Chains A and B, each alone.
Chain A
Amino acid sequence: MTSEIYFAEVGGEKYQIEILSEKRVVINGVTHEIDFQTLRQHSSCSLLVDGKSYEPNTFQENGGWEILLNGRRFNVLVEDERERRLRLAAGESTLQEGRYILKSPMPGLVIDIPVKAGDDVKEGQVLLILESMKMQNELTAPRDGKIARIQAQVNDNVERKETLLILD
């Protein structure tokens, strides 16, 4: 097979990862022997890197990857060569997160929406309050942005994964 090159970014650190084969990768110029097994139907994987054993949990969240590893969380943005070419051609210099679609993490009742379309919001700002599991849960903005659209209404009973609002 031909090798493939990916670009990843974690907390500002950039990694160029070339997949030479299923057993060998080059990370920022250093070659590593690996073995990557996904446990069937699970988010969990077993990853061996130069003989060291890791068990990351991988979740796809809003266009990026969320990796749980040794009790820590890492948000990873990944693109392959084609995506990178397209992005650079479009004149974007950094990896961009696209629109953030706030989906209901669970079935529940919308108690309050303290923002409105067009509002500028800050990371951590409460966007919506959802009641579920006997608790009122504050759904917050994962980053700074502008509210593009609000889909849900106060007193709506929403299903899991239902789109609540969209952040640009």
Chain B
Amino acid sequence: MFKKILVANRGEIAVRIIRSCRELNIQTVAVYSDADRHSLHVRYADEAFHLGPSKASESYLRSDKILEIAKLCGADAIHPGYGFLAERADFSQACQDQGISFIGPKPSSISAMGDKQVARETVSKAGVPVVPGTEGQGNLTDKALLKIAPGIGFPLLIKPSAGGGGKGMREVANIKEMPGLLTASRREAESSFGDGNIYLEKLILGARHIEIQILADQHGNVIHLGERECSIQRRHQKLLEEAPSPFIGDDQALRDKMGEVAVQAARAVDYINAGTIEFLVDANKEYYFLEMNTRLQVEHPVTEAVTGIDIVKEQIRIAAGLPLQHKQEDIILNGWAMECRINAEDPFRDFMPSTGLITQSIIPAGPGIRIDTGVYSGFEISPYYDALISKLIVHEVTREETITRMKRALDEYRVLGIRTNIPFHQALLDNKDFQEGEFDTQFLQDGNLPVRRHQMDRTLPEIAALAAVLASYKQTHQSAVSMQRGRRETSNWKWTSRWERTKE
């Protein structure tokens, strides 16, 4: 087993990894940028080393510096977390070259899954269904695309090869309207990205984003830990995840089949360590490979809750060469788990990021609640990294009870000084369609429920008016007090307290 692990990350995930290391009795090394000197991961680790300026490219992405520090402090392994260097084949290779274990897959697996075309080809050869389309077949002419289209089936999407954000994208219902839409799509792609190349992809109606967590050791054992439902997304950013998926529910046959397919996909690239196979699942429960994330996922705690497995500890054991402790038949999903990503974003202002000092943070507690966070009262949210400040995970028996518990936890949660998306989550959990499990990846795109609006207690506006008036009143009187400063004989605070006592 490793003696010392360097955690090449920051924020909640660095703290999360350090916790598992401590429980395994492994020494930890943190690295930090200028902005993170006061971060929790630096304080929790046994050792901490400065990387450089706040910008990620000058700190957390400096693989050379990180390796230098690892050698200097005698770390025998590096855990990359997620983001930053986690899916960089060259970094995995560099670790290997320096004789330091990379807690993650081999460079070849990262490369194979990192290139979308190679990944599609590899997994479809292994019998894994992919979204039918022409991506990766080169730049085809309109004539060729029109010939291929019926084979893919309608409706389908025309997508520009370059760029994203929906520009140049066209939905095609039938072959008759396709030539005109091809021209329009190319024109828009050309003007937006300077590249008129396009490809076709089958349009998956009512698609859900469901992913399978897998674990693979160095001895050829690969198991899956069931699914996670991740369809609640805004601009392709996941906001709430749960395990199991309400869409799969008690369809154990579908769960087993998707699990098997995920294991096949992992085997196809000789995968080792923890990984996730993402699928799109349509309304008819047909599933298609989307991509593989060759790292620990943000939302791994919901799987940990329902399986009882510490995925980070498993990652470390696997990297140390130990065989998996669990067989597929040992994996039983227990109850329901849900995670809300608490972001420093203002849901009332189109999810604008919010920076600044967290003046107070009171985290929810009590039965079935877990918080993974890297922030605390007095912590300054900087603009350099992503907006995730904590993950609130709850575990209960049924989905209904899980939602109730999550609502209770969100009501307890106080983060002051900055804006957070907690009101968004409260609105989401109040939504009837969400409660009934009726949602797909478009759920938040359709202008659905940005904030709580319905079933409002009618006295609330009055209370808000009163709060504003009392705040104004207090402010006026406090400034009146400070303006008289110096004209009193007694000290200021004594005078204030006397005023406080007599003002009634």
Residues of A near any B CB (own CB < 8 A) = 1, 4, 6, 8-11, 13, 15, 17, 19, 21-23, 25, 27, 32, 34, 36, 38-39, 41-45, 47, 49, 54-58, 64-65, 67-74, 76, 78, 80, 105-108, 132-135, 137-140, 160
Q: In the complex, which of the residues B387, B423, B503 contacts A72, with contact meaning CB atoms closer than 8 Å?
A: B423
Q: Which of B201-209, B238-246, B264-272, B462-470 contacts A (4 or more CB under 8 A)?
A: B462-470
Which of A55, A80, A132 has the most CB atoms of chain B within a 10 A radius of its CB?
A132
Q: In the complex, which of the residues A23, A27, A132, A139 contacts B383, with contact meaning CB atoms closer than 8 Å?
A: A132
Apart from A8-B465, A65-B468: 11 A-B pairs, beta carbons within 8 A: A8-B466, A13-B461, A27-B462, A36-B474, A38-B474, A44-B414, A47-B466, A65-B471, A71-B422, A72-B460, A134-B386
CB-nearest residue of chain B relative to A1?
A: B503
**Cβ contact within 8 Å between B461 and A160:** no
**Cβ contact within 8 Å between A42 and B360:** yes
Q: Which of B20-28, B210-218, B348-356 contacts A (4 or more CB under 8 A)?
A: B348-356
**Cβ contact within 8 Å between B466 and A17:** yes
- Residues in A with CB closer than 8 Å to B473 are 4, 6, 19
Q: Which of B302-331 contact A (CB under 8 A)?
A: none
- Residues in A with CB closer than 8 Å to B385 are 133-134
**Cβ contact within 8 Å between B423 and A73:** yes
Which of A71, A73, A80, A132 has the most CB atoms of chain B within a 10 A radius of its CB?
A71
Q: In the complex, which of the residues A1, A4, A72, A135 contacts B451, with contact meaning CB atoms closer than 8 Å?
A: A72
**Cβ contact within 8 Å between A69 and B464:** yes
**Cβ contact within 8 Å between B360 and A39:** yes
Interface residue range, chain B: 35 or more
Q: In the complex, which of the residues B355, B410, B466 contacts A106, with contact meaning CB atoms closer than 8 Å?
A: B355
Alpha-carbon distance A11/B458, docked complex (angstroms): 13
Q: In the complex, which of the residues B348, B360, B410, B476 contacts A80, with contact meaning CB atoms closer than 8 Å?
A: B476
CB-nearest residue of chain A relative to B422?
A: A71
**Cβ contact within 8 Å between A17 and B465:** yes
- Residues in A with CB closer than 8 Å to B463 are 47, 49, 54, 56, 69
Given A19-B473, A54-B463, A135-B353, A8-B468 contact (CB < 8 Å)? yes
**Cβ contact within 8 Å between B467 and A58:** yes
**Cβ contact within 8 Å between B355 and A8:** no
Alpha-carbon distance A41/B416, docked complex (angstroms): 10
**Cβ contact within 8 Å between A41 and B467:** no
**Cβ contact within 8 Å between A132 and B355:** yes
- Residues in A with CB closer than 8 Å to B456 are 72
Alpha-carbon distance A64/B453, docked complex (angstroms): 21
Alpha-carbon distance A22/B473, docked complex (angstroms): 10
Given A10-B461, A43-B417, A160-B356, A25-B348 contact (CB < 8 Å)? no
- Residues in B with CB closer than 8 Å to A21 are 504
**Cβ contact within 8 Å between B464 and A56:** yes
Residues of B near any A CB (own CB < 8 A) = 346, 348-350, 352-356, 359-360, 383-387, 410, 414, 416-417, 422-423, 426-427, 451-453, 456-457, 460-474, 476, 503-504
Q: List 6 A-B contacts (CB under 8 A).
A: A72-B452, A74-B465, A105-B349, A107-B355, A133-B385, A135-B353
**Cβ contact within 8 Å between B353 and A74:** no
- What 10 A-B pairs are tightest by C-beta distance, nearest first? A74-B464, A76-B468, A65-B468, A71-B426, A8-B465, A56-B467, A106-B355, A133-B353, A67-B464, A71-B423
Query: Separation in Å of the B431 CB from the closest CB of chain A?
Result: 13
- Residues in A with CB closer than 8 Å to B453 are 72
Query: Separation in Å of the A47 CB from the closest CB of chain B?
Result: 6
**Cβ contact within 8 Å between B460 and A6:** no
**Cβ contact within 8 Å between B360 and A106:** no
Alpha-carbon distance A39/B359, docked complex (angstroms): 11
**Cβ contact within 8 Å between B504 and A74:** no
**Cβ contact within 8 Å between A11 and B461:** yes
CB-nearest residue of chain B relative to A10?
A: B461
Given A80-B472, A105-B354, A70-B460 contact (CB < 8 Å)? yes
Query: Separation in Å of the B366 CB from the closest CB of chain A?
Result: 18
Given A105-B354, A106-B355, A137-B352, A67-B383 contact (CB < 8 Å)? no
Q: In the complex, which of the residues A1, A42, A68, A78 contacts B469, with contact meaning CB atoms closer than 8 Å?
A: A78
**Cβ contact within 8 Å between A160 and B355:** yes
**Cβ contact within 8 Å between B467 and A67:** yes
